[in-house]
Amino acid sequence: MLARFFIDRPILAWVISIIIVLIGLIAYKFLPIAQYPQITPPVVRVSASYPGASSAVVADTVAAPIEQQVNGVEGMLYMSSQSSNDGSYSLDVTFELGTDLNLAQVLVQNRVAIAQPQLPDVIKATGVTVKKRSPDILLVVNLYSEDDPATGQPYFDRLYMSNFATIQLLDPIARLEGVGDVFSFGGQDYSMRVWLDPDKLAAHGISAGEVAAVMQEQNVQVAAGQIGQPPVPAGQEYQYTVSTLGRLIDVEQFGSIVLKTGTNGEVLYLRDVGRLELGAKSQDQTLALDGRPSVGLAIFQLPGSNALDTADGIKAKMRQFERDQRLPKGLKYDIVYDTTPFIRESVDEVIKTLIIAVVLVAFVVLIFLQDWKSLLLPLIDICVSLVGTFAVLKLMGFSLNNLTLFGLVLAIGIVVDDAIVVLENIERWLDKGLPVREATIKAMSEITGPIMAITLVLSSVFIPSAFLGGITGQFFRQFALTISAAMLISAINAMTMTPARAASIFSGRKPGQKGDQGKEALPWWGFGLAGGLISVWLLKQLVGSWLGLIPHSAGGNDAVQTGFITSIKHYLVLTALFMPGLIAGGILGWFIIRPVNWALGQFFHAFNWVFERITQIYGKTVSRLLRWSFIALLLYLLLLVITGYGMTRIPGGFIPSQDKGRLIVNITLPDSASLERTEAITRQIEKIALETPGVAHTLGNPGRSFVLNAIGSNLGSMFVTLKPFDERLAPNLYADRIAAQLRARFKNEIPGAVINVFGAPAVDGLGNAGGFKVMIEAIGDVNFDRLQGQADNLVNKGNQIPGLIGMFNGFRAATPQLFADVNRVQCKTMGVSLTDVFATLQIYLGGYYVNDFNRFGRTWQVNIQADAAFRKDVESAKQLKVRNANGDMVPLGSVVDFREIGGPLTVTRYNLFTAATVGGASLPGMSTGEVLSTIEQLAVQELPHGMTYEWTELNFLQKQSSRLESFKDLQQNPYSAFVLGAILVFFVLSGLYESWSLPLAVILVVPLCLSSALAGVILAHMDLNIFVQVGFVVLVGLAAKNAILVVEFARDREIEGAKPFDAAVEAATVRLRPIIMTSFAFILGMAPLVVAEGAGSEMRRTLGIAVFSGMLGVTLFGIFLTPIFYYRIRSLSGPLASPTTVPTEQSLPAASP
């Protein structure tokens, strides 16, 4: 027997346990930390730029050919594109979870290459970029300038800051591990800007197209070759490389480009017909940090990397830049938009919950076992099992996230049972007079098989969850496998090392010693440990900041060294703080231990007396219920009906919204509003936000909407960063309350814009903001105006529905635009080429990319455009000149008529169809399931023929997880794991009992956990989200485990000759104490989740309430209904066969109190 091997070698058992703990602790230090498992679908982004083109032109000439080829690429879920009036185009292709992103990028790149011949020439010249990226910003590094005391003006302007960031910071950051992309927003890349004077060009008879051609001719990279390069005649002594001025590098050289020479030797230079500067490529958007001009480096995480490690690496690199004085005097940086503090704090809160749960479980076990030595055994097993699980997580490639930590919290109540079973049986044989060693060997010979059996039963509950697909599978998999790993370690530990430790712990106990003899509630040194912990906590509050007890971060080589030194210092200081309390508590404990233990002994004696009376009353009650079992079964059926009704009435959910410490404001001004107006509105929003209690910083970005993923002069965004969670404990400072305050003030105080306030997305990377998003698609012959009209109608009707707030339509079809109507007949008459007309329009009005130049070690664009005075209005545009066939300069107005029209600001395409983005939010209390159902009903009622809707981002995945249209859908449905787990439990028990009917006595209890869990969910006003569903799976195992305790004992008693009635009553009475002990240990361990606060408290409370109420209900219902189920099933079945398998854990009688 393996247990006997370790009983004879207790030191080896201790060594193995210590090694397991050490390996687990080492693995813990290397486990990546994340909020969730990798649940964000991979995304590949395709981007291009068509300078001067309208959104409709970009959609027709760039979006359509690319998307026709990309559509249907292997593994694609959906794709969405934006074509903007600044000529930019971006396409996000979202793939199924588990898709190899490198392969996906190659596949998309190949599809884009097929579309290349159909793209405009300018797109072919500038190229189409295909990148893999995380669809959400990890953090933003903001640069800002201090004011010069002498002038009162900033040291640096936005142009300098932007290009300093690009040249000095962007590349080093992009090379850091975990960084997928770095994007400068609110910035202005350098460009050689040539602002042409059309009047001077016309005076010299030069067209805009000729200027572009001459610049391309004279700004070209040249390979001049070598003199003396072999083969050469014999005797060649030197070899020279020939260089020449090809590509130009500065304003002076570009200004010296020769446009024209005269017969008398006069020369016309480029500087003679225009103004040149090293300026900004684009000034379509700006950025302000708390009102101060700023430039931001938005850093995207590489899919599959660790968010916290990546963020730590970025921060360490920025600190290194400061130490190396890489930032010039007056240039500062700050990181106010950072998604990682929430991740770090939410994981820390779950770890605290885990520690508190262990303490509470220990408290319950101490009350029942009433001896610190007996308590020590399950506590050691909990430590070995949970810490050892960290090593398994590392081997399986899991992260330390909320799901794996939830699994460990819930595993506490499960793994403690194995140690208690060993402990109970050893004490039973000790009470019979056996020496410690013999009692331990005898006990283990009886329960090795039972422990294996119960582990198999519980594993059959959790293992099916590991095979779910989609985002649901990602949530369930790590959770289920964490619990399974902890159970497996606990089972192995209980069968091998626990008995050896038990023999060591009970070595001082005399044979035949019974009852309370030799029991000691608390050890004197326990007061020392408690004093040390109190000392650490108290002194940290008083002198923690002075002693430098702050979390250290790691990233980069320098940061790793600093983090290691800081860590050593941290632990040394904590040890020093621990010692005063340890000494004082130990001394105090030495003197007061006897009276304390005497008082506790009196309490335990009273507790045992009360529990014995309750057990007697319980036994009589069960006996009466068995006689009236038909009434009890009718009540059970009524509970099932109520449960079924409740399942249909409770609103469905998915992933609960959470206070992540940030809000996003979407700003929309009237169509064609200038960027200057948008900046003014943004400043008003910023002032209101910074005045609002709980707000720490604002980051305003006029010119870009992150919610719509669109660029426009009338659009804007603002990220509102809230103060840390420990400074926002009051309910009115929660994120949703602050958002409501901001909405009210914006509505009342800023009438000139539509301003929506959203929380952070439930899952970073699945949308840029919280709330919902649905795409209204034109699948038939529907023009832009009708698409906007129907989307606006949907929004207006939706905003009238109670619970929905801030619904908006992001599509504007009639943004005022000008249509250049070229009179083609007049062009022919006047000898003007259409090509020249279009080139003149593009170059003068839209700007034209000529080619590139090199400066500061990088490549920049050369762009030409008419100076501002020549393109300020229609009359100015009509005076632009184009040359005809006779060489005369003809006013553009003679062949072109400008008239006002309406056109889209941004064209969105979703899965090949032109679409309008409709988004919004809901008030607290309205679940996402209700929101989706309400919007779907509204869309069906309001959308005409030729239009439809599709969900996107997180809502798409929610609908996907709830579909039941195919076997693949069934694999992603969370209730599949619940049903399959129950079925597997039935089959495992059937095999163990050699009976098809007896397992029903266990399975029939399982629905009771749903009844009580649903009751808790309803009372807490929650929805049926994914964390509640995770709780259901846990409750299946726990409900089955409690029922097995009764059924197995009753079965063995009946085999020994007892009648089914007597066997059921005796089993219920004898097993009441272990059931109550283990159940209430688990229930009390869930209490910290139920009352959770701080970061991530929404999901902890959701899971905690479901499991807490479910376990409470299944315990109270199960102890009465399980004997009834057993009795009725046995009354209808034949006699039991003798067991042919090893008896299971539940065949053991309870230890005496």
Question: Lowest-confidence range among 139-153, 528-542, 856-870, 950-964?
Answer: 528-542
- Asked whether 308 and 315 are in contact (CB, 8 A), the reply is no
pTM of the predicted protein model = 0.80
Res 1145: pLDDT: 40
Per the document, the length of the chain is 1153
pLDDT band for position 963 (cuts 50, 70, 90): low
pLDDT at 518 (0 to 100)? 56
Q: How far is CA 755 from CA 666, 705, 742, in A?
A: 6, 11, 10
Distance between CA 173 and CA 318 in Å, rounded? 9
φ/ψ region of 104 (left if φ > 0, alpha if ψ in -120 to 50, else beta) reads: alpha
Whole-number pLDDT of residue 544? 55
Mean pLDDT of the chain: 84
Element (H, E) at 535: helix 524-547
Segment 178-194 mean pLDDT? 86
pLDDT of residue 172: 92
Per the CB < 8 A criterion, the answer to whether 787 and 943 are in contact is no
Indicate the pLDDT class of residue 564, thresholds 50, 70 and 90.
Answer: very low
pLDDT of residue 1142: 40
Reading the block at residue 121, the tokens are 């020439």
| Assigned token pair, 436 | 């410690």
**Mean of pLDDT values over 145-151:** 87
* pLDDT in the model for residue 103: 92
Note the pLDDT of residue 519.
67
Residue 813 has pLDDT above 60, yes or no: yes
Angle at 374 between CA 372 and CA 375, to 5 degrees: 60
pLDDT of the residue at 509: 62
Instruction: Considering the chain, tell me which residue range(s) the CATH 3.30.70.1430 domain(s) occupy.
Output: 662-811+907-962
Q: How far apart are CA 432 and CA 758, in angstroms?
A: 68
Residues 381 and 389: their CA atoms lie apart, in Å, by 12
- Contacts (Cβ under 8 Å, ≥6 apart) of 189: 162, 163, 166, 280, 281, 282, 860, 861
Checking if the pLDDT of 63 tops 90, the result is: yes
- Residue-level pLDDT at 561: 39
One DSSP character per residue, 134-169 reads -SSEEEEEEEEEPBPTTTSSBSS-HHHHHHHIIIII
Copy the structure tokens of residue 563: 């983090």
More confident residue, 169 or 558: 169
> Which of 285-289, 543-547, 942-946 is predicted with the least confidence, judged by mean pLDDT?
543-547
Within 10 angstroms of residue 1081's Cβ, the number of other Cβ atoms is: 24
Locate CATH 1.20.1640.10 in the chain: 2-34+343-522+612-649+973-1147
Homologous superfamily (CATH) of 662-811+907-962 is Multidrug efflux transporter AcrB pore domain (3.30.70.1430)
| 905-934 mean pLDDT | 89
Cis preceding linkage at 1153, omega within 30:
no
Q: Tell me, rounded to whole angstroms, the distance of Cα 107 from its chain centroid.
A: 26
What kind and span of H or E run contains 757? strand 754-759
Which of 1069, 1076, 985 has the alpha carbon at shortest distance from 457? 985
DSSP class of residue 550 equals -
Q: How far apart are CA 144 and CA 698, in angstroms?
A: 14
Question: Which pair of structure tokens corresponds to residue 672?
Answer: 């064609």
Predicted pLDDT of residue 546: 55
Neighbours of 141 (CB within 10 A): 26
Contact 922, 805 (CB under 8 A): yes
What mean pLDDT is predicted for residues 249-262?
91
Averaged pLDDT, 36-42: 82
Q: Are 723 and 699 in contact (CB under 8 A)?
A: no
pLDDT bucket at 22, cuts 50 / 70 / 90 = very high
Three-class secondary structure of residue 278 per DSSP? strand
Handedness of CA 983, 984, 985, 986 (dihedral sign): positive
Q: What is the average pLDDT across 876-888?
A: 90
Q: What is the pLDDT of residue 199?
A: 92
Residue 809 has pLDDT above 70, yes or no: yes
Distance CA 240, CA 231 (A): 14
Task: Report the C-alpha gap between 701 and 336 in whole angstroms.
Answer: 14
The string of pLDDT tens digits covering residues 1035-1075 is 888 888 888 878 878 887 888 888 888 888 888 888 788 78
% of the chain beyond a pLDDT of 90: 27
Per-residue pLDDT at 984: 86
How would you classify residue 152: left for phi > 0, otherwise alpha for psi between -120 and 50, otherwise beta?
left
Highest-pLDDT range among 477-486, 586-595, 913-922: 913-922
Tokens 């059921």 belong to 1064
Task: Examine the pLDDT at 1149 and tell me if it is beyond 60.
Answer: no
Provide mean pLDDT across the span 88-108.
91
pLDDT at residue 130 is higher than 80: yes
Do residues 408 and 386 lie in contact, with contact meaning Cβ atoms separated by under 8 Å?
yes
- Residue 567: band (very low, low, confident or very high) from pLDDT cuts 50, 70, 90: low
pLDDT for residue 559 is more than 70 = no
- pLDDT at residue number 1117: 86
Pairing of strands 858-866, 190-196: parallel
Tell me the residue type at 255.
G
Query: If pLDDT is split at 50, 70 and 90, which confidence band does 304 have?
Result: low
What is the assigned CATH class of domain 2-34+343-522+612-649+973-1147?
mainly alpha
- pLDDT of 449: 65
Q: What distance in Å separates the CA atoms of residue 132 and residue 255, rounded to the nearest whole number?
A: 40
Higher pLDDT, 202 or 1054: 202
Contacts (Cβ under 8 Å, ≥6 apart) of 34: 306, 307, 308, 343, 347, 399, 400, 401
**Which is it for the CA torsion 253, 255, 259, 264, positive or negative?**
negative
CB-count exposure of residue 516 (10 Å: 0-12, 13-18, 19+)? middle
CA dist., res. 542 & res. 708, Å (int): 48
Residue-level pLDDT at 1141: 42
Which of 30-44, 202-216, 352-366 has the highest average model confidence (pLDDT)?
202-216
Instruction: Compute the distance between CA of residue 1122 and CA of residue 1059 in angstroms, rounded to an integer.
Output: 16
List of residues 6+ apart from 1138 with CB closer than 8 A: 1055
Q: What is the dihedral of CA 599, 601, 603, 604, to 10 degrees?
A: 160
Of 814, 771, 788, 710, whose CA–CA distance to 947 is shortest?
788
The pLDDT of 669-683, averaged and rounded, is 90
Whole-number Å distance between alpha carbons of 718 and 706:
9
Count other C-beta atoms under 10 Å from residue 269's C-beta. Answer: 14
C-alpha–C-alpha distance, residues 477 and 485, integer Å: 12
* Span of 436-440, 602-606, 608-612, 964-968 with lowest mean pLDDT: 964-968
In the predicted structure, residue 241 carries a pLDDT above the cut 80: yes
Cα 835 to chain centroid distance, Å, stands at 51
Cα dihedral angle (1037, 1042, 1043, 1047), rounded to 10 degrees? 130
Write the pLDDT tens digit of every residue in 371-399.
777 788 888 888 888 899 999 998 988 88
Provide the pLDDT confidence category of residue 776 given band limits of 50, 70 and 90. very high
The 8-class DSSP code of residue 464 comes to G
Token pair listed for 717: 């965004």
Q: Are 978 and 1032 in contact (CB under 8 A)?
A: yes
Higher pLDDT, 468 or 738: 738
pLDDT tens digits for 753-773? 899 999 888 887 777 788 889
User: What is the rounded CA–CA span in Å between residue 206 and residue 1088?
Assistant: 79
The token duo for 586 is: 């130990």
HSE value, Cβ hemisphere, 13 Å, CA-based, for 818? 15
**What's the pLDDT score for residue 267?**
92
Predicted confidence band at 983 (pLDDT cuts at 50, 70, 90)? confident
Cross-strand partners of 859: 854
**Residues 506-552: tens digit of each pLDDT:** 766 665 555 455 567 777 777 777 877 788 777 776 665 555 554 44
Average the pLDDT over each of 163-167, 828-832, 1131-1135, 1141-1145 and give the range with the smallest value. 1141-1145
Q: Which carries the bigger pLDDT value, residue 456 or residue 623?
A: 623
Closest CA to 213 of 250, 257, 246, 249: 257
* Least-confidence region, from 42-56, 448-462, 945-959, 1062-1076: 448-462
Q: Is the dihedral of CA 1031, 1036, 1040, 1043 positive or negative?
A: positive
pLDDT of residue 1045: 78
What pLDDT score does 150 carry?
Answer: 84
> Could you give the percent of the chain with pLDDT greater than 70?
92
Place 557 in a pLDDT band, splitting at 50, 70 and 90. very low
* pLDDT at 870 > cutoff 80: yes
Between residues 454 and 1121, the one the model is more confident about: 1121
